[in-house]
A and B are shown apart, each in its own frame.
Chain A
Amino acid sequence: MTRLTYHAPKIRGQEGAKTLRQEFGAFISLWLRPSLPWLGVSIFLSLFFFYPLARILWLGLNFASLSGIGISSLRLTFDVLLFTLYQAFLSSLLTLLIGLPAAYLFARFDFRGKSLLRLLTAIPFMLPTVVVAAGFNALLGPRGWINLGLMRLFGLESPPIVFVYTLWAILLAHVFYNTTIVIRVVGNALAHLDPRLEQAARLLGADKWRAFWRVTLPLLRPPILVAALLVFLFDFTSFGVILLLGGPRFATLEVEIYIQAIRVFNLPLAAVLSLIQLLCTLVFSILYSRVVTRVVVTTAPRAAASNLRRVRSWREKLFVGGMLLLLLALFLLPMASLPLRSVARLESARGERAAVSFGLTGDYYAELFVNRFGSLFYVPPFEALANSLIYAVVTVLLSLALGFPVASALARPGRLERFLDPFLMLPLGASAVTLGLGFIITFNRPLLTGHLSLITSPLLVPLAHTIIALPFVIRSLQPALASIPDCLRQAAATLGASPLRAWFTVDWPIVSRATLAAAIFAFTVSLGEFGATSLVSRPEYPTLPIAIYRFLSQPGGLNYGQAMAMATILMVVTGMGILLIERLRLPGTGEF
C-alpha cells in the first residue's frame, strides 16, 4: 500500500494564453489554498512565539558585544550542552524501554483495572516537579520508606541507597514523567493497526516474532519516532527535575539559561545558550521529519476492540503480570505518598526520628478553606481549581482549533509542509525564562487603547499553554490523519458523497480517537504547567500548581500539609478529567 503523494490540483486551462481569471485561479490553487491551513498557526506562533523570542535574543546579543563571552563561558557552554544531550539520550532510551512494552500491553490485552492503570501512568505528566520530588524523596530519599526499612532490617547506621542528587534520580523522574507520551502515541497507533497484515504474515509461514519484527514494528515506526522525539525534547529542556532531584551538580541548558539570565544577568551568554537550545531542537525536528516522511505507510485502521484479547498462555500471563508490577512500582509508589501525607500527621518521637507515628487528620483539607491572616492573595481551593480548569479548557479548544488544519495539511505534505514542519516543534525547545522576558519587552505597551495591555491579561496563560501544547496536538493528530488511505475517500466520492460528507464518514471516525488523545495532551500540559504560568499569571487567578508552590514557600507543618492536600486535589481532578475525555463518545464515531 503505497501512499499517493498530494499535488495541488492541476489547472485545467487551455494551452496558450491564460486569462487573468485563470492566472488568479492558478495563484489560488498553487499558493493560497495550500497555505490556508497554516494561516491560524502562523499568525499565532509569529505573534506569540517567534516575534517575542526574536526580540529578546536580539536584545541579548546586542546588550553587550559578544566579547563578554570568554573562553571559560565557551567551556561551560560545551560542558552543559554535552550533559544535556547525554541525560536526554539516556532518559529517552529508558522511557522507550518501559513505554513500548507498556503501549503493547494497553493496546493488545484486556484485563481488569486497565483504564485505571492507564490513568495512573498519565497523571505524573501534570504534577508539578516540587510535588514529584517530594514523592520520590518520601520513597527513596535518605529518610524515605525504603531506606528506613532497610536500615531497620539490617541495623544500618546510614541509608544504604543513595538516590537523590544522582543521575539515576534524573533518569527515573524523566521516565516517570514521560512514559505516558509513549503509551499514548504508540499505544494509540498499535490499537488501531489492521490485524490482517500480521495475520497474513502468519499465514505465509512467519512465526509470531518474525511477524512482529517484519510487519508490526515497521508499521509502528512513525508513531515510535514521534514519541521518541517528543520525549527527547522534553528531557532535553528539563528544568525542575534537574534542579530538585539532580541537585546543584547537574545543569542542563535550560537550567544554565535561568542562572545566566536571571541570577547572573549575563544576557549575551543566556541568549547564546537559548540559541543553541533552539538550534538543537530544530536539528532534531528536521532529522525526524526526514525519517518519518520515508516510512509513512497507510493502512485501513481498525476499531481498537478488534485488536484486544484476554490473557491466555503462561507467557502472556508472565508478560502482563510483570508489566503490571513494574508500572505499579514505578507510578503508584512515588505518587502514593502525596495523598497519604495529605491526611497523615507525622509525629516523630523526640530523639528517635526513625520511628515515626502516624495520626490521621483532615486538618489540611479544612485549612485550605481558611484564610487565616486575611491575605489579599488567598484563594479558596475550588477557585484555584476552577481557574486551572478554565485555562485548560481554553487551551484544549485553542490548540485543537489551531492544530487541526495544520495536522491535516501535514498528513499530505507538499513543499510548504515539508519546509514548515520542523518549525512546529520549536516551542518545545524555547526556554520559559527567555520567552517570558520576550513577552515582557514585546507586550508591555498597551494594546490598542490605554486600558489593557496583554501582559496583564489573564488570557496570556492559556496562550502560553497553547504554545507548549500545540506540538503535542499536531504530532498526535498527524499520524492518524496520514494513515487514512485515499482510496476510502475516493470510494466515498465515487458513491456520490460531497467532500464534507466524505470527511465526516471516512476521516472523522478514524481521527476522533486521535483528537481525544490530542485533547488529553493539551489538557494535561495546561494543568501541570508551572514555569511559564508563574511568569505570566495574575495573582488573583492562580492555578493549582501556583497555589501548591505558594504553600511550599513558607515554613510550617500546616503549609506543607496543605501543599500535599492541594497536590492530591490536582491529581484527583485531572484524573477525572482524563477519564471524562476518554469516555467521551464523539458523535458519529461508532466503535472507534
Chain B
Amino acid sequence: MKNFFFLTILVTLVLAACAPEGPATLTVMTHDSFAVSADVVMAFEQANNVKVTFIKSGDAGEALNKAIFSKDAPLADIFYGVDNTFLSRALEAGIYESYASPLLANIPTEFQLDPQHRALPVDYGDVCINYDKAYFTDHNLAVPQLLEDLTRPEYKGLLVVENPATSSPGLAFLLATVKHFGADGYLDYWRSLRANGVVVVDGWETAYYTNFSASSGHGPQPMVVSYASSPAAEVVYAETQLTESPTASILGPDTCFRQIEFVGISAGTQKRALAEKFVDFILGVLFQEDMPLQMFMSPVNLNANLPEAFVKYAPAAEQPAAISPDLIAANRDRWIANWMEVVLR
C-alpha cells in the first residue's frame, strides 16, 4: 500500500514533466463568487490562441491574502476581485502593475479609484437593505426610506444585518452608516439600532436564507442587508415564473454602499501582453454584458446593456454612500472593533 503513495507522487512528477506543449496559458486568480459564461471565455481563447485557467481561492478576503502572500512568485497573471473596502491593502502590498487600458475611456471616472491604474474597476454592486414586499403591505407598514427610520419602534426586530468582521456586505453597510452619521455619530446610531432589536448574523448566507422572510428560508425578519441586484436574482432563479419580484431594495440617500470590484495585472507576470489583452476583454462589452446574470453585479462599461431583469427589478442606488479607499484602510479595523464593542458585547 505504501507503494501507492510513491506511485501517486511519481505519476504527478511524470505528468508535470510531460505536460503537453499546447497554446500558452493565462492564469486568472479570483474568489469563489466569480462566474462567467463558457462561450465568452472561449471567444477570448480562440481569438488569442490561449488557454485561460481560473484559480479560485476562498472568499474575497482569502483570495486577496493569497495573492499578497504569493506576490514574489505570482500564481496567476491576473487577479480579479479586490473591492474598494480592501483596495488599499492590495495596492500597498504591490500585487498589481499599472496598465492604462484604452477601455477606461468608457468607464465613469467615479469608479476609477486608483489614479495609477494598477487596479481597474470591473463591476459594481450596491449593498442595500432588501425588504419583503408582502410583509409590508399585509401589515400596512410604510417601507422605511432613510437609515434614521430604522430606529423607529414600528420596525423593532425587523432588520437582520451581517457582522462586518466576517462579511463583506456587513462591512459595506457599516461603512454606509459611517458615511451618513460621521465617524463620531455612527456608534450612537448603532446603539439605537441595537435597542430596536437589530439581529446580527455571521454572513450573507445565514442572513438571507435563514433570517430573511422573503427568501426560501422564510425567516423571521422582513428586512436584510443584501444587494440591489438580489430582487432580480429572486425573479431569475424563481421556482415558478414571476412577473414581479417578492423583494425590493430601499434606495434612499446613503442607505446603500457602492461596492466596486477591481481587476489588475499581477506584478511580475511573464505574460504581460496577453494579460493586457485579457484586461481589455474583461472591460469590453462582451464580458460586461455577460457578467450581470452570472455574478449579479453591474457592469462599469457605459456601452454595456443591462439584461431586462436588471432594468426591471434591480435599479441602482441614486445616491450611494462612498468613502475613499484610503480613509477606509486607515480606519476600517477601528470602526469594526468599536462597532463590535457597541453592538455585540
- Residue numbers of A with Cβ under 8 A of B are 40, 44, 59, 130, 133-134, 137, 141-143, 159, 164-165, 243-244, 247-249, 258-259, 261-266, 345-346, 348, 350-351, 353, 356, 361, 363, 373-378, 394, 397-398, 400-402, 404-405, 433, 436-437, 440-441, 444-445, 447-449, 451-457, 459, 534-539, 549-550, 552-561
Contacts and interface: CB of A to CB of B under 8 A. Distances in A.
In the complex, the 3 A-B pairs of residues with the closest C-beta atoms, listed nearest first: A556-B237, A351-B138, A560-B216
A456 B293 contact: no
Contact of A134 (B36, B62, B210, B226): B210
A373 B2 contact: no
Interface stretch (B5-13, B187-195, B278-286): B5-13
16 contacts: A164-B210, A262-B62, A374-B37, A375-B294, A376-B35, A401-B4, A436-B57, A436-B66, A444-B73, A448-B16, A451-B19, A452-B19, A456-B53, A538-B55, A539-B56, A553-B32
A265 B217 contact: no
B13 A558 contact: no
B284 to A, nearest CB: 17
A46 to B, nearest CB: 14
Contacts of B1: 397, 400-401, 404
Interface in B18-32: 19, 27, 32
B205 A552 contact: yes
B70 A401 contact: no
B210 A133 contact: yes
A398 B2 CA distance: 8
Interface of B: 1-2, 4-5, 8, 12-13, 15-17, 19, 27, 32-41, 53-59, 61-62, 65-66, 69-70, 73-75, 89, 134-135, 137-139, 163, 165-166, 200-206, 208-210, 213, 215-220, 226, 230, 233-234, 236-239, 293-294, 296, 333, 336, 340, 344
A147 to B, nearest CB: 10
B58 A141 contact: no
Contacts of B340: 248
B33 A560 contact: no
Contact of B17 (A264, A351, A448, A556): A448
A397 B213 contact: no
A557 B238 contact: yes
A270 B89 CA distance: 17
A142 B199 CA distance: 12
B62 A244 contact: no
A60 to B, nearest CB: 11
A249 B341 CA distance: 11
Contacts of A346: 216, 218
Nearest to A551: B237
Given A142-B219, A398-B5, A452 B201 contact: no
Given A243-B202, A248-B202, A356 B218 contact: yes
Contact of B138 (A243, A350, A449): A350
A400 B1 CA distance: 8
A402 B19 CA distance: 28
Nearest to A371: B38
Nearest to A454: B12
A456 B55 contact: yes
Given A374-B37, A436-B66, A558-B238, 9 more contacts: A134-B210, A243-B202, A248-B200, A375-B36, A376-B35, A401-B1, A433-B62, A437-B69, A440-B66
Given A346-B218, A375-B294, A557-B216, A397 B4 contact: yes
Nearest to A549: B32
Given A375-B38, A554-B296, A394 B70 contact: no
A389 to B, nearest CB: 17
A539 B41 contact: no
B237 A554 contact: yes
Contacts of A441: 69-70
A259 B332 CA distance: 13
A534 B32 contact: yes
A447 B15 CA distance: 11
Contacts of B2: 40, 401-402, 405
Contact of B220 (A142, A258, A261): A142
Nearest to A249: B344
A557 B37 contact: no
A453 B13 CA distance: 10
A560 B58 contact: no
B217 A262 contact: no
A432 B262 CA distance: 27
Contacts of A452: 12, 15-16, 19
B157 to A, nearest CB: 9
Contact of B239 (A137, A142, A361, A535): A361
Nearest to A376: B38
Contacts of B217: 134, 137, 560
